[in-house]
Amino acid sequence: MMMRSNSPTITKTNPTIKKRAAEPRSDVLIKEDIENQLRADTRVSNYDVEVTVDNGVVILKGEVPSYRAKNAASDNTWTVPGVMDVINNLNVEYETVTVEVPEDVDLASNVRDSLAWDPDVDATNIKVFAENNIVTLEGSVESLWNKYIAEDLAWNHMGVIDVRNKLVVVPFPDIKDEAAARNIMESMDRKMVVDVNNIDVKVINGKAILNGTVRDAIDWQSVYNSAFYTSGIKEIEDNLTIEEIEEMQMERSALLEKRGRTDTIIKEEIENQLQADTRIASTDVNVTVNDRTVTLTGDVPSYRAKNAARDIAWSVPGVSNIFDHLDVLYDQTAVEIPSDTEIASNIESSLSWDPDVDAIEIDVTVENGNVILEGTVESLWKKFVAEDIAWNNIGIVDVKNKLAVASPVNIEDKDAVKNIVEKIDRNILVDVNDVDVEVRDGEAILGGTVNSVDAWHAVYSSALFTSGIKRVEDNLTIV
């Protein structure tokens, strides 16, 4: 049995990818599958998303209520077999009937506060401007992922219609281009996602240039992330091509069989991955491996770093289970820890600014940095969004999420099962015949096997974003 986070990470949509499919599907079938995926996802199901498909290239148009919903539409589209590219032209249109959109001056102030309260962003070097609900970020950050954390924080504010991210990456410490390129290649090689001989990496003045071929969008994400989270990288030029061909699947199997997966090798590769990743920014993570079960102990500087350490461990082939005992320990020489009253106020403000959360229904209490969230939300994914918002504030020791899911739509268990199974069946990563799904009084019980963490994520997300689901019991096994 594997142990995972209850809250899968919601990531940014991938950029344009050149893709060649081995067995092209008709545009009609692709369009139908995408529309069904969108209708089944609570993040976008109630909104008008127009889907057009031309030779596998998908264009999304219409209006959605938030940045997360816009990304969710892209994510759903990429799960469908036969999709060659996704052009997301969706506009974010806030529901101003029920929520008041802030004026520009208040919007800029709110974004500044969010940046200042976040443990992973040094807001002292960031300037925020807002004009006609368009937010502009200027200044400098230490890494590429810090740049996009700042952008995500800005986007997840009620009223923002666009974010212009002009932040400049000034790495600390400065990493030479050759060392950065070597670190990227070694990171890819440790993950064994693709044969590194198929990938060409150059770094010129901090710009990583990626060329070569990968098997699918998930492999692309892994290669891209190897550059994205490497110290010294200021920007990325992505020239990767996806080629869905049988030979590359066989090549992956050969790679996995080629190397022994002893506990010693797994431990060494996890430690190397942790050292190479800018999100951790700490050497205080201890790794032990026993019969392919990994235990992580020590201190990390933020909740994101804690999640990143777990994700990094899962990225190493051979891992069968993870126990995460990492503690979040803030650098009090770099940040001032707010009082409990200030933390509660900051979380309440952050919840009220977010377009996907009804903060009126959520009560926040804080004692000695321990946060308790109580009240109701409309869907399970919003419960975890509220928890993430709470965690991404300086001074949090722990978050107890006692929010209840009170769906405004009554969905029978049998219909929820049907929706989950159909979503899994349409997903390119999973064989639905290997997965068992049961729903009892709104609790989805997932069993069976999947062949990767990405496949697990696809199955878990299929339940998480389905109407009528209040809880998920995860009994999936990765084989």
Please tell me whether residues 21 and 78 are part of one structural domain. Answer: yes
Report how far residue 311's alpha carbon sits from residue 315's, in angstroms, rounded to the nearest whole number: 6
Are 50 and 135 within one domain?
no
Q: Residue 136 — very low, low, confident or very high, per pLDDT cuts 50/70/90?
A: very high
Name which of 158-162, 399-403, 448-452 the model is least confident about: 448-452
* Both structure tokens of 65: 């209520």
User: Cα(288)–Cα(426) distance, rounded to whole angstroms?
Assistant: 38
Residue 18's domain is classified under what CATH number?
A: 3.30.1340.30
Same domain, 346 and 293: no
Residue 312 included in any domain: yes
- Residue finishing a domain among 169, 184, 219: 169
Q: Considering its fold, how many domains does the chain have in total?
A: 4
Question: Does one domain contain both 87 and 110?
Answer: no
Q: Is the pLDDT of residue 260 over 70?
A: no
CA nearest to 392, candidates 367, 377, 371, 361: 371
Range of the domain at 135: 104-169
Q: Is the pLDDT reported for residue 4 higher than 50? A: no
Q: Tens of pLDDT along 303-315?
A: 999 999 999 998 8
Least confident of 35-39, 200-204, 427-431, 461-465: 427-431
Question: Angle at Cα 45 formed by Cα 42 and Cα 48, nearest 5°?
Answer: 150
Amino acid occupying residue 84 = M
CATH of the domain at 348: 3.30.300.130
pLDDT > 70? residue 279: yes
Q: Do residues 382 and 357 lie in contact, with contact meaning Cβ atoms separated by under 8 Å?
A: yes
CA distance 458 to 442: 19
Q: Is residue 140 domain-resident?
A: yes
Tokens linked to 339: 């009082």
* Domain C-terminal end among 70, 93, 116: 93
* 432 within a domain of the structure (yes/no): no
Same structural domain for residues 329 and 347?
Answer: no
Cβ partners under 8 Å of residue 348, min gap 6 = 359, 364
Which residue type sits at 344? A
User: Which of these, 4, 6, 75, lies nearest to 443 by C-alpha position?
Assistant: 6
Q: Give me the percent of the chain exceeding a pLDDT of 70.
A: 89
pLDDT for the residue numbered 251: 54
At 451, the pLDDT band (50, 70, 90 cuts) reads confident
Q: Is residue 444 part of a domain?
A: no
Q: Are 10 and 76 in the same domain? A: yes
Are 60 and 92 a contacting pair, CB within 8 Å? no
- The number of residues in the chain equals 479
Q: Do 77 and 21 share a domain, yes or no? A: yes
**pLDDT tens across 152-171, in order?**
999 999 999 999 999 999 98
- pLDDT reported for residue 15: 38
